[in-house]
Amino acid sequence: MIGLLLVNLVLALTWVALQGDLNAINFVVGFLVSALVIYVFRQTFFRPLYFRKTALAAKLVAVFIYELIMANLSVLRIVFSRRIEVRSGVIAFPTALRDEVALTMLANLITLTPGTLTLDISPDKRYLFVHTLNLEDPEEIKRDIHRAFEQYLRELSR
């Protein structure tokens, strides 16, 4: 399923390149045109849940943008405080993801969020080792990562 979404994104970027103007309107139009082409040829792709997963991917992007803004505000509050009191640390985040693309996306989403950094993935691919700037409650951080990113990636990788 992630493969079809990537095909749609590549087709949308191709559309933008053909238009010669990189902007959001051209990208959205290209995405919709490519989605229509994929829909028309859906028997060829044979992926009935593709459009549901596209909506799920869009929701993941929206959640990521929200988390990005909130993390930036949190780090900004720490940086501009009179006394910087942080308790950084590393947690082992247990993950149910087994698809390598989904694991890589999860690790990148965590790293792109200010205040967190994915350090490594365990050899058995069951844990992500995540450094966090403010480790007040490790279980809350694990719940937040699961709620914000992992649950969407698990659905997308099915």
Q: How confident is the model over 29-60, as pLDDT tens digits?
A: 888 888 888 777 766 555 556 667 777 888 88
Question: Does residue 54 fall inside a structural domain?
Answer: no
C-alpha angle 118/87/148, rounded to 5°?
45
Question: Does residue 53 fall inside a structural domain?
Answer: no
- What pLDDT score does 46 carry? 54
Those residues whose C-beta lies under 8 Å from the C-beta of residue 23, and which sit 6 or more positions away, are 16
Q: How confident is the model over 75-112, as pLDDT tens digits?
A: 888 888 888 788 889 999 999 888 888 899 999 999 98
**One domain, residues 5 and 81:** no
State how far Cα 40 lies from the chain centre.
Answer: 28
- φ, ψ of residue 136 to 5 degrees: the values are -80, -45
More confident residue, 40 or 148: 148
**One domain, residues 86 and 148:** yes
CA–CA dist 58, 124 (Å, integer): 30
**Claim: this prediction has a pTM higher than 0.75:** no
In the chain, the percentage of residues whose pLDDT exceeds 70 is 91
**One domain, residues 98 and 149:** yes
Structural domain total, the chain: 2
**One domain, residues 69 and 102:** yes
Mean pLDDT for the chain? 84
User: Which domain does 108 fall in, by range?
Assistant: 59-158
**One domain, residues 154 and 123:** yes
Q: Which of 89, 81, 151 is nearest to 115 (CA)?
A: 89
Instruction: Pull the structure tokens for residue 110.
Output: 């965590």
**One domain, residues 112 and 68:** yes
More confident residue, 35 or 147: 147
